[in-house]
Amino acid sequence: MRIVIQRVLNASVSINNKVHSAISKGFLLLVGVTQTDTQEDVEWLANKVCSLRVFDDEEGVMNKSIQDIDGEILAVSQFTLMASYKKGNRPSYIRASSPDHSLPLYNSFVDKLKQLLNKDIATGVFGADMKVSLTNDGPVTICMDSKNKE
């Protein structure tokens, strides 16, 4: 699994010009799933997201987690995170998982975040044409890949 974490002041997802989900301070997560991903990937990434210390403490140092600030999360599925661009100029999405594999893992990821934070997680609609708006705070943007645990 691969995610892009963006620390935001606010974020929203619109579908057909209508806001579907919106959050205030917290994380916008873009989530991509490969065919080889498992529940182990879900667990590792969800735990990392919830304990990642990228919010400012009283001294202005990034020392607080989303749990510490009682922040919100908007998780949006995005198969294009799995793009391969090695050959030619048109990305290939062959590494992206099929919906029958990726949707259950995406839902499990959202459920695990909900369990860890003890609050609802805002989402987009899997497979929909979504418009994502955000105010990136910092900006702080971090990429994580469960197959490359840096």
Known catalytic residues are 78-80
For residue 27, give the H/E element and its range: strand 26-32
CA distance 130 to 78: 10
- Measured in degrees and rounded to the nearest 5, phi and psi for residue 148 equal -135, 75
Distance CA 67, CA 50 (A): 6
Report yes or no: 26 and 9 within 8 Å, Cβ to Cβ.
no
Instruction: Provide the pairing of β-strand 55-56 with 122-123.
Output: unpaired
> What is the Cα–Cα distance from 20 to 29, expressed in whole angstroms?
16
